[in-house]
């Protein structure tokens, strides 16, 4: 029960976190590592397909580039993605404030 | 790295050809980076078991590939409630229509054995009929989903008018003590009437009793167990009514009433499975007319049996819908 609710809660937050982290360019592995370093570990099999989906939706842009003698696909937030991230953050802050108010109410 | 290539090959088998190479190239880089980082932590190359552990954690190839595919469903979340509702509403209808369609085969069965076989066969054949109806409904809703997805999301499905809500349903009125007493009196009168029938057949046959006398015919032995079964049922119903009058409304009242209705099918089935209702009392009896009367009565009782069974199925369904939580019922 807790696990399924936890996953449901995380699902939306992860997208916001990925979009926010991609304000700076990353390729799949370094993005996962950066998120994990901030305390938000995501499974590879979830993150990599999510990047492609967000790119298909126009929120990310990507390019293949050589780095350390390896061709890597680098992602970053698109213009549309930046706009959407701002809206999502407003929404996120609103939810957060409301939740805090509710939690502060005496039982 | 052989294991990594085998893993990528396995994932590639389930990917769409258009994006396969691109996805695999990206996956290879990411997995290699992961392995390099682990090797750096370890201070040396990874053993095959360590590579296998990384790949195992990454996921089963088929499932990994599925996550790269667009989300697919036959019936989406907006259409699904309508689909379930349709299945729930049509299933009883299909069952009733099916048995009505088979009425003729029950009625014109040549003997009780054939009747029972026909009934059993009908129940077995009901399974594919239900499956076909569910398949047809599922395909119809899959088409609705397709059209819904292609042209305008939601408008027609979510649109509704509060003014069209049905008026408030009133809970069933509880029987007042006066109504229970009246019910008991009527039941007692009904029992007196049934008790009087063997001595006064005209009470049930009317002018037909006279016709039987002129035909030199009398009741066949089947009426005796039928009569006893009816008396037992009436006594059981009398006991329920008396207890209900003394103790008021009880939760066991409805299931007991249903049980007596189920037992009530037994005498009807007894008559439907019998072919001889009237027998000659003198050698000079008109056997041809008697045989015709028996045949018509048999057909009549079979129709009654089918109606009684269908009514019982309906009432049982209504009862279980009331008492069993919806999620525990098949529909």
At B215, list the tokens: 């035909």
Mean pLDDT by 10 residues, chain B (331 residues): 88 89 91 90 87 90 88 82 90 84 70 73 87 94 86 66 79 75 89 84 74 78 84 87 76 77 82 81 76 84 82 81 59 44
B305 contacts B268 by C-beta, under 8 angstroms? yes
User: Could you tell me the maximum CA-CA distance found in chain A, to the nearest angstrom?
Assistant: 60
**What pLDDT, on the 0 to 100 scale, is given for residue B89?**
87
| Residue B29: closest C-alpha in chain A | A72
Q: What is the model's pLDDT at position B285?
A: 67
pLDDT digits (tens, 9 = 90+) for A16-30: 999 999 999 999 999
* pLDDT the model gives residue B198: 79
Backbone angles phi, psi at B104, to 5 degrees: -60, -40
Contact criterion met (CB < 8 Å) for B26 and A43: no
Minimum distance, in Å, between the CA of residue A73 and any CA atom of chain B: 6
CB atoms < 10 A from the CB of B41, how many? 8
> What percent of chain A has a predicted confidence (pLDDT) above 70?
99
Look at A5-14, A80-89, B276-285 and tell me which has the smallest mean pLDDT.
B276-285
CB contact under 8 A, B34 and A44: yes
Q: How far apart are the C-alpha atoms of A29 and A32, rounded to whole Å? A: 5
State the pLDDT at residue B197: 82
Tell me the chain A residues in contact with residue B67 when contact means C-beta distances shorter than 8 Å.
45-46, 49
Closest CA to B15 of A48, A7, A63: A48
Which of B30, B57, B63 minimises the CB distance to A48? Answer: B30
Mean residue pLDDT of chain A comes to 90
CB contact at 8 A, A51 and A76 = no
Predicted ipTM of the assembly: 0.80
pLDDT, position B331: 44
Q: What per-residue confidence (pLDDT) applies to B108?
A: 67
How confident is the model at residue B140, as a pLDDT?
93
CA distance B279 to B277: 7
């Amino acid at each position: 029960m807790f696990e399924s609710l936890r996953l449901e809660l995380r699902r939306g937050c992860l997208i916001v976190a990925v979009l926010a982290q991609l304000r700076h360019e990353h390729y799949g592995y370094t993005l996962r590592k950066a998120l994990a370093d901030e305390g938000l570990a995501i499974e590879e099999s979830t993150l990599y397909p999510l990047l492609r989906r967000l790119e298909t939706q126009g929120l990310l842009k990507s390019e293949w580039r050589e780095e350390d003698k390896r061709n890597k696909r680098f992602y970053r937030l698109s213009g549309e993605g930046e706009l959407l991230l701002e809206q999502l953050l407003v929404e996120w802050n609103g939810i957060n404030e409301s939740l805090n108010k509710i939690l502060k109410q005496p039982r | 790295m052989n294991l990594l290539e085998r893993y990528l090959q396995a994932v590639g088998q389930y990917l769409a050809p258009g994006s396969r190479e691109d996805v695999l190239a990206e996956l290879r880089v990411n997995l290699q980076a992961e392995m390099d980082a682990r090797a750096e932590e370890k201070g040396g190359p990874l053993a095959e078991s360590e590579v296998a552990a990384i790949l195992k954690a990454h996921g089963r190839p088929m499932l990994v590939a599925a996550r790269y595919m667009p989300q697919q469903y036959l019936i989406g979340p907006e259409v699904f409630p309508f689909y379930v509702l349709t299945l729930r509403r049509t299933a009883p209808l299909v069952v009733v229509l099916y048995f009505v369609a088979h009425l003729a085969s029950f009625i014109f069965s040549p003997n009780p054995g054939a009747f029972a076989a026909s009934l059993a066969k009908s129940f077995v054949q009901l399974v594919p009929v239900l499956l076909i109806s569910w398949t047809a409904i599922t395909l119809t809703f899959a088409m609705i989903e397709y059209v819904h997805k292609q042209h305008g999301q939601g408008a027609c499905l979510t649109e509704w008018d509060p003014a069209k809500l049905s008026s408030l349903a009133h809970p069933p009125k509880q029987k007042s003590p006066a109504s229970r007493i009246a019910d008991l009196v009527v039941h007692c009168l009904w029992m007196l009437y049934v008790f009087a029938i063997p001595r006064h057949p005209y009470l049930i046959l009317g002018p037909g009793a006279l016709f039987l006398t002129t035909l030199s015919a009398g009741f066949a032995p089947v009426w005796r167990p039928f009569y006893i079964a009816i008396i037992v049922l009436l006594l059981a119903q009398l006991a329920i009514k008396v207890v209900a009058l003394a103790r008021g409304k009880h939760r066991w009242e409805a299931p007991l009433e249903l049980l007596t209705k189920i037992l009530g099918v037994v005498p009807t089935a007894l008559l439907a499975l019998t072919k001889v209702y009237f027998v000659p009392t003198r050698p000079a009896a008109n056997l041809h007319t008697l045989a015709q009367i028996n045949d018509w009565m048999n057909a009549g009782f079979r129709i009654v049996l089918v109606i009684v069974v269908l009514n019982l199925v309906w009432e049982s369904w209504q009862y279980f819908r009331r008492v069993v939580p919806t999620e525990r019922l098949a529909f």
